A = this chain, B = another copy of it.
Amino acid sequence: MPPKIKSVAEREELRSRIMQAARLLFVERGIEAVSMREIAKKINYSATTLYHHFADKESLLQAVCDEDFLNLASSMREIMQLPDLVKRIEGLANGYARFALQNPSHYRLMFMTPRAPCDVEKTRIQRGNTEQDAYAQLKQVVHDAFVAGLFKPALTDDALIAQTLWAGIHGVCALQIALGGEDWIEWRNVNERLALMQKTLLQSMLRHVDAPM
């Protein structure tokens, strides 16, 4: 029983209700465990309706994640204003890690799941845009610090530096998300692990360090 014709605003409201239901479900039960039918039922629609707003399941999940990642990048812009370049790098690392650990399902979908390269076209996020892409932000800050001569002279490639910093933080977060619950590993506190990773990487990459180990 289709009620009445809908305005653009109403259409968008339904679209975002779908996304909200999807987010709730797949954050609490994992991505592949939720079906389109479940999401639809949660908001009292038939599964087919979802396909009038999203091309397929992946597009829907992508849209959900995009929203949160834009949020992340936006919350990072504050940190990007810090005058101290090193503090800026540290702030980015901390913010990135906090987001990963607080949104493990999103993080997993975006950074721990291989996808076909064409999927880049399904996302709203403009990769490389410092306003939208957290990696672009890190790259930018590292570049600035590189130009300012903050890194050791042996390091001659700022992109390589950024990718290594990213990999270090990602490694701690990804292991925590994937294996944090396994009790055959006597995990140290994840914040300790993050702190040591950060301190270790920066210490041997930066030319000057305030408090050496």
Contact = CB atoms under 8 A, between A and B. Distances in A.
B159 A188 contact: yes
A213 interface: yes
This protein's copies in its complex: 2
B108 A114 contact: yes
A14 B135 CA distance: 48
Contacts of A166: 171, 175
A182 B213 contact: no
Contacts of A170: 171, 174-175
Contact of A174 (B112, B120, B127, B154): B112
Interface in A147-167: 152, 154-155, 157, 159-161, 163-164, 166-167
Size category, A interface: 35 or more
Closest 8 CB pairs of A and B: A171-B171, A127-B184, A167-B171, A204-B204, A154-B213, A203-B204, A167-B172, A170-B171
Interface of A: 30, 32, 104, 108, 111-114, 117, 120, 127-128, 135, 152, 154-155, 157, 159-161, 163-164, 166-172, 174-175, 177-179, 181-188, 192-193, 196-197, 199-201, 203-205, 213
